[in-house]
Amino acid sequence: MSYLADVKSVEKLNRLLDVCRNNLYTFDENLIRRAFEFSWNAHVKGKPRASGEPYFSHPYEVALVVAKEIPLDDVSVASALLHDVVEDTGYDLKSIRAEFGDGIADIVDGVTKISGAVESHEITRAENYRKMLLSMAKDVRVILVKFADRLHNMRTLAFLRPEKQQRIAMETLEIYAPLAHRFGLAKVKWEFEDLAFKYLNTAEYEFISRKLNAKRREREAYIRKFIQPIKKRLEQDDYKFEITGRPKHIYSIYNKMVKRNKPIEEIYDLFAVRVILDTPDKNDCFSVYGIVSEIYTPVPERFKDYISVPKQNGYQSIHTTVVGPEGKMVEVQIRTRQMDEVADRGVAAHWKYKEDVKVTDRKLDEWISWVREILEQPAVSSGEDAAKSFLEGFKLDLYQDEIYVFTPKGNLQVLPKGSTPVDFAFEIHSQVGTHCVGAKVNGRIVPLNTKLNSGDQIEIITSSNQNVNPDWEKFVVSRKAKAHIRRWINDETRKKAVEGEEIWTKKLKKHKLTLGEDDFVKLLRDLKYENAQRFYVAIAEEEIEPERLITRLTQQKAVKDSSEANKPSQTFVEIARKSSEGIVVDGSRSDWKVSYAKCCNPIPGDEIVGFVTTGEGIKIHRKNCPNLARMAGAARERIVDATWPGESSGLFVAGVSVSGMDRPGILTELTHSISSHQNTNIRSVSAEVRDAIFESQIIVYVRDKEHLERIIDKLRKVVGVTKVDRISTGTPGRSQNG
């Protein structure tokens, strides 16, 4: 990208930056500089406009309109600078996206597509075109930049051929002016209408313009005379205000002449005055209305209160017509400064002001009120966040085709295509949706997930005992239904979580068990719950049995306490040391020192032999001990016969390893199956879980081999257990000599 060396370009950039500073709430100066330079260099070699000016003058003037007359944000100004780059230069949308990101690229793409769609077709039904523009705009700023683009084109329309002037003027009057009204952009709408009227009916335009100009001084003098007593009274009452005469717009005057079939001289409300109050209190407007009515006689039937009941596009003001000096009728508008900004700048003003209004989104005429609701959400701020929030709802309600259905009384309801009786119920009223149990479509009962069609008549059946069904969220399509269902589900989840937490707390207290934060987090992780709320809901819905879980925690605590009581280095072999008194060696009780080998830990019932060691007497091994086989190969003469005594009243230590699929309560069931068999005493338990696989080592006291085998059989029957083995050796992987 080349450097801006041209003096005029630098002057233009500085002017634009000054306008942005004065009108935008916040802006990124670097973004505007980059967009300006990119557009300047892209258009510098392009052909001039019909006016003879360099083509860059158009995107530049459009950016000024966006920054000053429809002020929104820096993204809109940058998009205005770039809006014709893709269509009229060698750069493509990919270049815009790489340089400025998705937000600006999407707005430029939207403006380009709208221009092509409207300008390449003959207007047959303007309302369909207005809906089409809305459906194509995935970001409100697309429409606003397009308004600015069209406004500058209309201001320079004189340089085009007459037939093109007519076509563009007709598009402006029938498509863009009504849309500007619905966006609450009063000034833009009036200028669209007057400029279009100038080219569509030049003779009438010039006639009315001459008439207004001929009496302009007389009219201005009269307005000054009319204003004086009002101004004096407001100053006495310490109001901060601005009061001005407001010229009537030419197209508006023409429409009144046609509608009333009267010449311009008989249009009584050509005189108009606006009082703008610098106050946040809307009640001051009514007080000022009272003052005006004391000074001049009001015409009762000409009073309109748009403050208490705003227009569908958000407009608020008091309108009254009074009889002024010389018996002339004067229209007076009274509003706050904020109301005035909203009246002139519509959606753009709502980026700054976020007010409470009654919102309906049933008709296109009411659409702007819904836009205001989107902008008023607490999580939404100005700029990108507001546009993103707007975009989500925009896709849901306007981007889809609509269906037209009826209530039993014949009232029309407009819903998104694909709507169901539940969508219809929530559209009627949130309580109707919440308590919906069934529906009749065209007199026949249908499932609640039935897709509705245009022309259907729907009757909703309700019951006070019915509440929202969470499954409804799977098939509803309207924004209102989804919002109510989600809100109900969230409320119910919170209630159940509170209930579950109370149950859990009581159970812990009953068992005198304290669970630290780290232990609780580990418990949630082991049970595969993403957060505490989901865990408590599971308790409330009886997915978890608190008693069994607490039993498991208690046993784990006992295991932990036991582990701490014993040295961590203590192996199963060390635990298994026991007296060898009574062993018969070589056919008789020997005076030799006799002990059990650590490598195989024999118990009564195992086939055994003795191995004569050096310095440690005779070690008793199981006959199938791998260590014994290795040692006997080198010194078979040291093997001696050995047998168990006839009776033994002692207990022997044995170990089993258990593995399987982890689940809540499995450790409790394992220990219960052991202790319930002949009151077997458990010496210790260790357990861990890896990738949902449960592994445990349990050391028990047994009388003999048969006792141990019965325990192993019982463990194998526990649900989830896949493998049970006797522990035969000490520390795995370490050779143990007898």
Report, as residue numbers or ranges, the catalytic residues: 87-88
Distance CA 336, CA 275 (A): 8
Q: Kindly report the backbone phi and psi dihedral angles of residue 444, in degrees, each rounded to the nearest multiple of 5, phi listed first.
A: -115, 140
Distance CA 720, CA 713 (A): 14
CB 659 within 8 A of CB 695: yes
Please identify which residue in the block is written with the tokens 């019982």: 714
CB 49 within 8 A of CB 59: no
Distance CA 634, CA 650 (A): 34
All residues at 6 or more sequence positions from 475 whose CB lies less than 8 Å from its CB, including other chains: 420, 422, 449
Please identify which residue in the block is written with the tokens 């009780």: 589
Distance CA 91, CA 100 (A): 13
Distance CA 274, CA 289 (A): 12
Distance from the first to the final alpha carbon of the chain? 85
Distance CA 345, CA 348 (A): 5
All residues at 6 or more sequence positions from 251 whose CB lies less than 8 Å from its CB, including other chains: 190, 193, 194, 196, 197
- Burial class of residue 720, CB neighbours in 10 A (0-12, 13-18, 19+): middle
Residues in the chain: 738
Sign of CA dihedral 172, 175, 177, 180: negative
Neighbours of 73 (CB within 10 A): 25
Distance CA 226, CA 602 (A): 118
Distance CA 689, CA 419 (A): 48
Do the strands 271-277 and 329-336 form a parallel or antiparallel pair, or are they unpaired?
A: parallel
CB 682 within 8 A of CB 700: yes
- Report H helices in 46-161: 57-68, 74-82, 85-88, 93-100, 102-119, 126-136, 140-155
Q: Kindly report the backbone phi and psi dihedral angles of residue 334, in degrees, each rounded to the nearest multiple of 5, phi listed first.
A: -125, 125
Distance CA 689, CA 663 (A): 10
What is residue 468's three-state secondary structure?
coil
Distance of CA 613 to the CA centre of its chain: 76
**What is the token pair recorded at 38?**
């990119």
Amino acid identity at 339: M
Distance CA 369, CA 138 (A): 18
Distance CA 332, CA 315 (A): 16
